Amino acid sequence: MTISALLQLVAAYPSLRRKSVLQRFIGISERAIKARVSRNPGATLSMEQSLRAAQLAEILEKATQVLGARDAAEAWMGRRAMGLDGMVPLDLLAMPDGFPMLRDHLIRMEYGVYI
């Protein structure tokens, strides 16, 4: 993933600027991203950072689809969720198995299946 694509994701989901989400989840701050783009507009993320950025984008897209609106998805990502044992989805993303847990939870929400 290019750094420019990541900046577009941040522009689309402003909540990513809060709580240092990019730093915690992808391993690079928004400030560092902007500095790297200013030096090289076509700069890319490392393989690990690209994978994590793609996972973040997938979760945000799925949450938007399931909840019906980008604002609703952003609000949900920042609140404790009963179906996630009271964990905050954004915090869960920083955990090693957080991505599959969130993806599975959103799929269950989509189909109305709560476990």
How confident is the model at residue 47, as a pLDDT?
A: 94
- Give CA–CA dist 65/96, Å, rounded: 24
- Whose tokens are 């989509």? That residue is 110
CB atoms within 10 A of CB 106: 23
How confident is the model at residue 84, as a pLDDT?
A: 92
In the chain, alpha helices (H): 3-12, 21, 30-39, 47-67, 70-77, 89-93, 98-111
Residue spans of the domains in the chain: they are 3-111
Cα dist from 30 to 42, 55, 98, 105, whole Å = 16, 17, 22, 28
Per-residue pLDDT of the chain (115 residues; tens, 9 = 90+): 888 888 899 899 988 887 688 888 888 888 888 898 899 988 899 999 999 999 999 999 999 999 999 999 999 999 999 889 999 998 898 888 999 999 999 999 999 986 5
